[in-house]
Amino acid sequence: MRSFAKCVEMEENAAMRWFIASDIHGSAWYCRKMLEAYEREQGDRLLLLGDILYHGPRNDLPREYAPKEVIAMLNDRKDEIYAVRGNCEAEVDQMVLEFPVLADYFLLPVGEKMIYATHGHIYNEKNLPPMKKGDILLHGHTHVLKAERREHYILLNPGSVSLPKEGNVPSYGILEDEYFEIKDLEGMSISVLKLEGEV
């Protein structure tokens, strides 16, 4: 298993607007909707939390399952995308995508806290990665959106772009100015959580 991290430092006074999405699962229809939302939100960077191209044996085929179309759409944005490996990613996915997709995690500082971004099939609320008290675990994989303060950490999940579960709608997250907001694909707010402050 490949494992490496990327740490992105933000300038002290520059507010980066991160658009965070997970679990596209090869749906060209939902990938287009996601990129339309990314444009509307005027995101600075797009962070994908894995399961980009393949629908997976446990899932039904998503609407307009067309991985080649998803490849073309995302490669057009390759300079704006950071991604981590989901349980559906393989080396063949890296052969066709022009941005790295095989990292197990991604580190992102927010104020005094650190965000540990991963897919969620290895590290999740039942198996936490090494984090300091107050740090943030951000993952997809479950297809269930969450923005919750736990006893020693914050748990964030933007939900799934194409195959939401447990009655959720297709959704994404916006991270800016120490706030994490989950929205549906039309841009309606579902949940907002302030990340700074005591856990």
Looking at residue 2, its pLDDT comes to: 43
Instruction: Please count the other Cβ atoms lying within 10 Å of the Cβ belonging to residue 112.
Output: 11
Alpha-carbon separation of residue 138 from 57, 118, 123, 163 (angstroms): 24, 6, 10, 18
Looking at residue 198, its pLDDT comes to: 67
Q: What is the value of pTM for the model shown?
A: 0.91
Domain boundaries defined on the chain:
18-194
Give the relative orientation of helices 67-75 and 28-41 as an angle to the nearest 10 degrees: 20
- Tell me the Ramachandran region of residue 74: left when phi exceeds 0, alpha when psi lies from -120 to 50, beta otherwise: alpha
| Beta-ladder partners of 154 | 136, 149
Instruction: Please count the other Cβ atoms lying within 10 Å of the Cβ belonging to residue 56.
Output: 14
- Tell me the Ramachandran region of residue 120: left when phi exceeds 0, alpha when psi lies from -120 to 50, beta otherwise: left
- How far, in Å, CA of 198 to CA of 86, rounded? 31
The CATH H-level superfamily of 18-194 is Metallo-dependent phosphatases (3.60.21.10)
Per-residue pLDDT of the chain (199 residues; tens, 9 = 90+): 344 455 555 444 457 999 999 999 999 999 999 999 999 999 999 999 999 999 888 888 999 999 999 999 999 999 999 999 999 999 999 999 999 999 999 999 988 899 999 999 999 999 999 999 999 999 999 999 999 999 999 999 999 999 999 999 999 999 998 899 999 999 999 999 999 876 5
Q: What's the distance, Cα to Cα, between the start and end of the chain in Å?
A: 33
Angle at 178 between CA 160 and CA 46, to 5 degrees: 40
The residue to which tokens 């393949």 are assigned: 54
Q: Strand 136-139 vs strand 154-157: parallel, antiparallel, or unpaired? A: parallel
